[in-house]
Structure 1
């Protein structure tokens, strides 16, 4: 039996839930019920028995994994040039976060028609307008299959690392491979090519990509901006805790060029306990997720019980 919360605890939970939902999903994100509740029996791109539904339902892992993916993606100079020259993240960072979260949640939990429409909108209406010349003189395009694969792999690698690092039951090797195989489907619909579909293929892909990666001035400046974002000291402190937790998900070869290197002692004695506390609060406040609940109900199923414990694993998946 679940213990009944006191009035102050209920108020705190409602406050945290509202603040996170507005920041991540925006004021409209949870109003579009039809994305997730209908039609009955439609599994979308994945379905309730998928590893993707399990991984993407974990609030702390997705939030910290999402920020980690932005940092990892920024290491590709052409991908970062597109963000730097076409995104309004400096003037309106929450809107970009809302768009990214909406895309991930919609393609994960929406009906097939809704998920495919979200992919088509980005592929056919957003990406054709994002192109230009990077500071090093090379042309770039958001529709470039090579860049699309990089952005995809960086994202899902970090989502999985966040899920496994911050307390969720670790996946088996076959489940990790199944996750990468599942999430390759929307990536290919978006235009990515040669998408790795197993943990070993992802690891090899990241090794192969390292010669192309570089921490440009735009990447370092962008991450510095996000790490210091907030309208008041409380918000800035919360963002810093989340960003430090996210940075810990990156492989060492990615942290140092982005100037995210922190000593092992600081990561162990400060960053990890603070990320642990933030994750506990997030999971307590955010689960059960209304969106996830609607998706399972669409399939006539009940969502699995939220993880009740919080164990920070010694290392994230090694990719």
Structure 2
């Protein structure tokens, strides 16, 4: 092939855009899914069998959206305010030594319980419950704690629901109706209950009420400040991707209630959030959605008359 023709193809804007898109998508998927992303994706989407949810369910819509990147960061910051829950993280979790591995395991669990077959979802829950059962310790005051304590699991759950919904409503591809939000809370609760949460909230109002009930237990701690520092100032990201992550982290901070931000010593600047941070975040998420959208079409799971989800184009 003549060099001039080769060069013209390499410099073709469509080629450059396609390569940029593929490169960004590969980077994000490698971080979230790791080396096993393709195998995990194949198993979740193409294993035949009944599913708990369908693509029209709010839980599917929320968890499939790029706003989950922001919701996840916000959830971690909010969850860090429970000192006992943070003991389990700081003493047993590999969030510092293996942050991407922890993210990959969490994202796989979330994807499997949302989109996977009932059999695979139940297997994932059994694995996590077994891990929780081995995480035990003692608080500085001498009180024993367990990761499978329903009270601690309840805190993690309501903080996640609050964060995922808040992020989606602010930055998602569309807004959920009030009824859809309640359905999302109930659907998330059905999974959380199988994990060990007792009487999870069924509506947004119930979730907010329970979240407020935990507030007297919440406080800043060295472990909480360490998590905030790690997530916001020393994330395990280098190069250009660090700028994109900074935008997502700023979006997560902008969605935290003022009392959480003050407890974690984070700035509270409503005007800056509204006029600067959120437009930048929306632009970053638009780029992510563009990169992650499969131009050939993602296979969707649909229920047949027997309720068995099957992939089809």
2:31 matched residue in structure 1:
23
Unpaired stretches in structure 1, ≥5 consecutive residues: 304-319
CA drift at 1:236: 3.1
CA drift at 1:294: 5.0
Q: Would you say 1:36 and 2:41 are equivalent positions?
A: no
Contact 1:241 1:275 in 2 (8 A): yes
1:57 matched residue in structure 2:
64
CA drift at 1:160: 1.3
Residue 288 and residue 140 in structure 1: after superposition, are their counterparts in 2 closer, same or farther (change >3 A)?
farther
Listed one character per residue, the Cα deviations across residues 230-265 of structure 1 (whole Å, up to 9, x for unaligned) are 453533333222111112222222222112223123
- Compare CA radii of gyration and give the structure with the larger one: 2
Aligned positions of 1:1-319 closer than 5 A: 6-32=14-40, 33-40=42-49, 42=50, 44-59=51-66, 61-124=67-130, 126-227=131-232, 228-288=234-294, 293=299, 295-296=301-302, 299-300=309-310
Q: Secondary structure at the match of 2:157?
A: helix
Distance in 1 between the 2:98 and 2:227 partners?
13
Listed one character per residue, the Cα deviations across residues 247-299 of structure 1 (whole Å, up to 9, x for unaligned) are 22222222221122231233223321221121111111112499963545973
Distance in 2 between the 1:233 and 1:16 partners?
12
Residue 111 and residue 248 in structure 1: after superposition, are their counterparts in 2 closer, same or farther (change >3 A)?
same
Distance in 2 between the 1:31 and 1:165 partners?
32
Aligned length: 295
Listed one character per residue, the Cα deviations across residues 72-97 of structure 1 (whole Å, up to 9, x for unaligned) are 11111111110000111112211111
Q: Secondary structure at the match of 2:173?
A: coil
CA drift at 1:162: 1.4
Residue 215 and residue 28 in structure 1: after superposition, are their counterparts in 2 closer, same or farther (change >3 A)?
same
Deviates more, 1:46-55 or 1:227-236: 227-236
TM-score (normalizing by structure 2): 0.88
Contact 1:36 1:291 in 2 (8 A): no
Contact 1:52 1:108 in 2 (8 A): yes
Distance in 2 between the 1:292 and 1:51 partners?
18
CA drift at 1:178: 0.8
Residue 256 and residue 295 in structure 1: after superposition, are their counterparts in 2 closer, same or farther (change >3 A)?
farther
Residue 160 and residue 302 in structure 1: after superposition, are their counterparts in 2 closer, same or farther (change >3 A)?
farther
Contact 2:21 2:291 in 1 (8 A): yes
Unpaired stretches in structure 2, ≥5 consecutive residues: 1-12
CA drift at 1:300: 5.0
Distance in 1 between the 2:23 and 2:302 partners?
25
Contact 2:73 2:231 in 1 (8 A): no
Distance in 2 between the 1:15 and 1:26 partners?
15
Q: Secondary structure at the match of 1:186?
A: helix
Distance in 2 between the 1:134 and 1:289 partners?
51
Aligned-pair RMSD on alpha carbons?
Answer: 2.2
Q: Secondary structure at the match of 1:140?
A: strand
Residue 252 and residue 51 in structure 1: after superposition, are their counterparts in 2 closer, same or farther (change >3 A)?
same
